[in-house]
């Protein structure tokens, strides 16, 4: 598999999140900084590597969950 940085330009903190092996990640960042993008990318990669797993997308508002699901 090619390195994701060949396809998309990530900020250093996004690369850190993408490469993080922890099961729990907290992201503190401002609006429009790319939080949803990096989380959806991380989930999509996980889904491709684990085809028999179920993935649940949860958000405080249904619309947020729908938008994140669309990005994934």
pLDDT at 2: 67
Counting as low any pLDDT under 70, the low residues of the chain are 1-2
Tell me the three-class secondary structure of the chain, residue by residue. Answer: CCCHHHCCCCCHHHHHHHHCCCCCCCCCCCCCCCHHHHHHHHHHHHHHHCCCCCCCCCCCCHHHHHHHHHHC
pLDDT at 7: 84
CA–CA distance, 32 with 60 (Å, rounded to integer): 18
pLDDT at 6: 77
């Amino acid at each position: 598999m090619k390195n994701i940085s060949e396809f998309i330009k990530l900020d250093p903190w996004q690369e850190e999140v993408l490469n993080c092996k922890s099961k729990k990640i907290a992201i503190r960042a401002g609006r429009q900084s790319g939080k949803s993008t990096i989380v959806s990318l991380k989930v999509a990669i996980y889904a491709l590597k684990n085809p028999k797993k179920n993935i649940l997308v949860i958000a405080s508002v249904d619309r947020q969950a729908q938008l994140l699901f669309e990005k994934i």
